[in-house]
Amino acid sequence: MIEADNHTYDLFSIPPSGVRGNWISFIHQLQDDICTALEQADGKAKFFEDKWEREEGGGGKTRVIANGDVIEKGGVNTSIVFGDVTEQMRKQLKIEGHKWFACGLSLVIHPFNPFVPTVHCNYRMFELYNEQDEVIDRWFGGGTDLTPYYLIEEDAIRFHQVYKNACNKLDKSFYPEFKKVCDDYFVNTHRGNERRGIGGIFYDHKRPNEKQNVAFWMQLANNCGYAFIESYIPIIEKRKRTKFTEQHKHWQEIRRGRYVEFNLVHDRGTIFGLKTNGRIESILMSLPPTVRFEYNYQPVPGSDEDKLLQACLHPKEWITEESTEQEKLEWARRSNSC
């Protein structure tokens, strides 16, 4: 048994693992800290927690927030799930082994104001065991990506800079590698390779080795997980009072439709949850509250809406050189465009 935040998870059915316990503690602390930061930035709404259990093994804590001064709908979820590897998993998820375990945090925030971007974040660990209860595979994955409705380049640059800094603490090759993976993953291929947003970082199936051990990958998750607060909360504070019109909301809902398309058609996390009898309310928590699907809708060429679309069609290198301390201070100094 593992006791975590007044909830007991029966893990006797899978092999003991100190790594697993450390990861669970990290994920739950990250959930608490992110929720606190988001509540403070919103100023009105509070998270509601819904604890749930999965019949085949495990459970989670779904925390939802809605109808705030900033956040229209959002969730910061953690899950600890495990069980036997089924034939369906072997065939559809290409998983080999006897038992499996997965634990992670996943969040999506949909603000009301179209000038505050939607954001997604996910950090997870996966283990596989053989019939002798030995760990035969372990990998880490995660990332954070930004989905603006109107492209404010200084926000995009700062967001990417925070994640570059987080990656550089361990390996300077990570940011360009993870940015490209992110650009190539969050893509609606059925719409001419249109990206969901302006990217961020994404990595998957990172297995410990002699050079980059378990502690290394856990530290990366810590760096990038807490970079969420540093990268996103200042954008909320800077843009949440920006005035907007019905036209801006209309475009936001058009782009939210693209978000829905990716999550339901392409997203591996959604597919994994559905194939492992995950909790449907938690899986679909990522969907926005209101969307529009209008036939062959195209923004006016050269408009602010078209500027965002072009950034999604043609991914950009946001960090061409290190931002100076003066540039960072200047970004923080500038007032809201209200």
User: Catalytic residue positions?
Assistant: 120
Q: How far is residue 338's CA from residue 336's CA, in Å, rounded to a whole number? A: 6
**Nearest to 69, CA basis, from 36, 37, 49, 42:** 42
Contacts of residue 98, defined as CB under 8 A and 6 or more positions apart, other chains included, come to: 84, 85, 129, 130, 131
- Mark out the alpha helices in the chain (DSSP H runs): 18-42, 87-92, 153-168, 174-185, 214-239, 246-265, 268-275, 280-283, 304-313, 325-333
Q: Give the CA dihedral 9, 11, 17, 19, nearest 10 degrees.
A: -30
Q: How far is residue 83's CA from residue 85's CA, in Å, rounded to a whole number? A: 7
Measured CA to CA in angstroms, residue 253 lies from 18, 287, 297, 333 at distances of 45, 12, 12, 31
Structure tokens at 181: 């993976």
Tell me, what DSSP letter sits at residue 48?
E
